[in-house]
Amino acid sequence: MTLLVTGGAGFIGSNFVLDWLAQSEEPVVNLDALTYAGNLGNLAALRGDPRHVFVHGDIGDRPLLDRLLAEHRPRAILHFAAESHVDRSIHGPGAFIKTNVEGTFTLLEAARAHWTALDGDAKAAFRFHHVSTDEVYGSLVPGAPAFTETHPYEPNSPYSASKAASDHLVRAWHHTYGLPVLTTNCSNNYGPYHFPEKLIPLMIVNALAGKPLPIYGDGQQVRDWLYVGDHCSAIRAVLARGRVGETYNVGGWNEQANRDIVQRICALLDELRPSAAGPYARLITHVTDRPGHDRRYAIDARKIERELGWRPAETFETGIRKTVRWYLDHADWVATVQSGGYRDWLATNYSAR
């Protein structure tokens, strides 16, 4: 009994691997290409643990996939590997097509060959779990009902379009070939090991360094925020009890405007790590909005609660406090991930705004 996890050194993937092995003796084979956001330091607690087999490789490498599937014979594939940053997709969409579309296609074909060769109970039990995003649904106006699993796909960025394409491939491989798939579309995750280019970790790290806190436009873009530990528990529930071929939306029931998120982070830092220079909110700076910025996302997570009994355990208040404390306690991790390439990226993205 083994799981194959793709992208297990990234933010959500590494949290899932750590969470899984904290609760289960079932081994994990962790395949990650270690691009800029993949960090083996996230998995330092598993060094020497025989239940964790790390493989440095790409989901687009079909011979490698075939070898891993033949050698480890996993009962499930959990597909986290993806390029996931909207701003990066605007500056360089090619990498998103290569990984999110072509990579998912290659993984699906390898999974299909592996599953087809299985016998009896092993074939019946096999699952391909595709981890996706609410951004495939597009944008909501204020007051509109939250996204359900049947909401039309209306992606508005190269990132969300590439994820929408991968969702469609997964669905097609189920309906055409019978591959037993599960898909989850989650809202914005936050928590430990989040690469500091995304909103919440960027604000924490910049504030502690006394740097500007850049907010796009008027800061009224609304997102539903999901603590990453809750996301991991939802994935476990779907893998264990989800209906084959179904999609489950995973949300935190926590709609917050970006401006309010930044203000709350500043208030928590004022409480937990006061600055001699004054309140952290003094660093807030509004910058030119990014092209095609979606105004609002909101997840209707009633289906997963109704069918699988899952609800998030964290409120936004408890989750954001845990997150800020984690970054305060792990300055060494932040320093390690802030490579020269990361600083170059921030300069590229914000210098002209």
Q: Which of 134, 167, 255, 314 is catalytic?
A: 134
Q: Among this protein's residues, is 314 annotated catalytic?
A: no
Sign of CA pseudo-dihedral 231, 235, 241, 245? positive
Q: Among this protein's residues, is 193 annotated catalytic?
A: no
* Predicted confidence band of residue 291 (pLDDT cuts 50, 70, 90): confident
Q: In this structure, are residues 116 and 69 in contact, taking their beta carbons and an 8 Å threshold?
A: no
Q: Among this protein's residues, is 36 annotated catalytic?
A: no
Sheet holding 188-190, edge to edge: 188-190, 222-227, 255-257
Domain 3-189+227-251+296-312: CATH superfamily is: NAD(P)-binding Rossmann-like Domain (3.40.50.720)
Would you list the DSSP string of 49-103?
-TTEEEEE--TT-HHHHHHHHHHH--SEEEE------HHHHHH-THHHIIIIIII
What percent of the chain lies above the pLDDT cut of 70? Answer: 96
Q: Which of 32, 137, 149, 159 is catalytic?
A: 159
Determine the Cα–Cα distance for residues 243 and 249; give it in Å rounded to an integer: 13
Model confidence pLDDT, tens digit, residues 82-137: 998 888 899 999 999 999 999 999 999 999 999 999 999 999 999 999 999 999 99
> Beta partners for 131?
184
- Return the pLDDT at 352: 58
Segments making up each domain of the chain, as ranges:
3-189+227-251+296-312
Model confidence pLDDT, tens digit, residues 31-86: 999 988 888 999 999 999 999 999 999 999 999 999 999 999 999 999 999 998 88
Determine the Cα–Cα distance for residues 278 and 284; give it in Å rounded to an integer: 13
Whether the predicted pLDDT of 353 surpasses 80: no
Model confidence pLDDT, tens digit, residues 168-227: 999 999 999 999 999 999 999 999 999 888 899 999 999 999 999 999 999 999 999 999
- Return the pLDDT at 347: 62
Q: Which of 83, 135, 149, 224 is catalytic?
A: 135
